[in-house]
Amino acid sequence: MAARLQAIELERRIGAGDARALARAASLVEAQGEAGRQLIANLFPRTGRAAMVGVTGAPGAGKSTLVDQLAKVLRRAGQTVGIIAVDPSSPFTQGAILGDRIRMQDHHQDSGVFIRSMASRGKLGGIAKGTLEMALLMDAAGRDVVLIETVGVGQDEVEVARLADVTVVALTPGQGDDVQAIKAGIMEAADVFAINKADMPGAERLEQEIRAMQSLGSEEQRANAAPVRRVVATEGKGIEELWSVIRAVFEKQGRRGARAETWALRLREMLRDRLLGALPDELVEEHAKRVAARAEDPYEAVEALRLSLAGQG
């Protein structure tokens, strides 16, 4: 009873935009327990207001700096900001290398910027488990813009980007011979291209390459080709212009996060985590032993595990 009253009070304070309440709620969401889920369920009707902007790109593209600069531009315009940085994490280092971000100090005095780092994926798989919940929480807390930063090479990071309303793909000149591959992988996901470090040689050529690739699309794809902008994030150059392009795309295409299509992707993710989370480790290990000993084939094992889950339902 006391717990329920506390929860109601927390929800009320989050709805009122209280930054300390938001921080407490974020910890609940990170813990991935029942309290966090209940909180998000209760806050859910308040969501759907924030503009969710994904920023993705290969390692070295300067995404963190870009996100920080976008946050500064937004703050100057009087908007409140949430930042979710999805980090490739390691059990070896406990994510300490990235956890220790200079950016945290940058916005330290400003309650108008709320930052959380999320570790990408655990043993169960899943796109940065909890990212969606964290974004919904920031939305319910009244943040005007939520910036979601991910490393974008694997298909899963592309999917994270798809959870956003507008996806910005950051590229830099001279990223080596796999850049074609990267561009192929993220071409579909990009709503805006930001060529960062545009003062380096090759920026012009990179822009031409992107436009050449866009020209290969269908007539409809060509008509909706993602705008390309050059920036130098470390110097804050081109960031205001980049933001106005992002906003224009957002206004043109509307809130993708409100669309059923986006929710279908999200529900699949959540279901996957829910299902595999219910599987007892010992049962998996028992079958794994049998398969490793060739006493059972992998399909028999998977079928047995599936039936055990069905039995729980």
The first and second tokens of residue 35, run together, are 């309290």
**Residue 188 or 241 having the CB closest to its own copies:** 188
* Radius of gyration for the chain, computed over Cα atoms and rounded to the nearest angstrom: 21
125 binds its own copies (CB under 8 A): yes
CA distance 160 to 127: 7
CA distance 136 to 47: 6
- Give residues 216-275 in contact with its own copies (rule: CB under 8 A): 216-217, 221, 258-272, 274-275
288 binds its own copies (CB under 8 A): yes
49 binds its own copies (CB under 8 A): no
**Residue 15 or 154 having the CB closest to its own copies:** 154
* Residue 34 Cα distances to 9, 31, 119, 191, angstroms: 17, 9, 20, 35
CB of 280 to its own copies, least distance (A): 12
**Residue 248 or 302 having the CB closest to its own copies:** 302
CB of 210 to its own copies, least distance (A): 12
Stretch that binds its own copies, among 11-19, 66-74, 246-254, 287-295 (CB under 8 A): 287-295
Stretch that binds its own copies, among 1-9, 24-32, 57-65, 202-210 (CB under 8 A): 57-65
Residue span 16-35 as binding mask against its own copies, x where in contact by CB under 8 A, dash where not: --------------------
92 binds its own copies (CB under 8 A): yes
CA distance 297 to 282: 18
58 binds its own copies (CB under 8 A): yes
207 binds its own copies (CB under 8 A): no
CA distance 185 to 290: 38
Q: DSSP of 194-250, one letter per residue? A: EE-STTSTTHHHHHHHHHHHHTTS-HHHHHTPPPEEE-BGGGTBTHHHHHHHHHHHH
CA distance 202 to 182: 17
**Residue 2 or 260 having the CB closest to its own copies:** 260
131 binds its own copies (CB under 8 A): no
Closest CA to 256 of 269, 245, 265, 268: 265
The first and second tokens of residue 223, run together, are 């008509």
Residues in CB range of 28: below 8 A, 6 or more apart = 35, 36, 39
**Residue 252 or 306 having the CB closest to its own copies:** 306
- Give residues 162-201 in contact with its own copies (rule: CB under 8 A): 172, 175-182, 184-188
CB of 155 to its own copies, least distance (A): 4
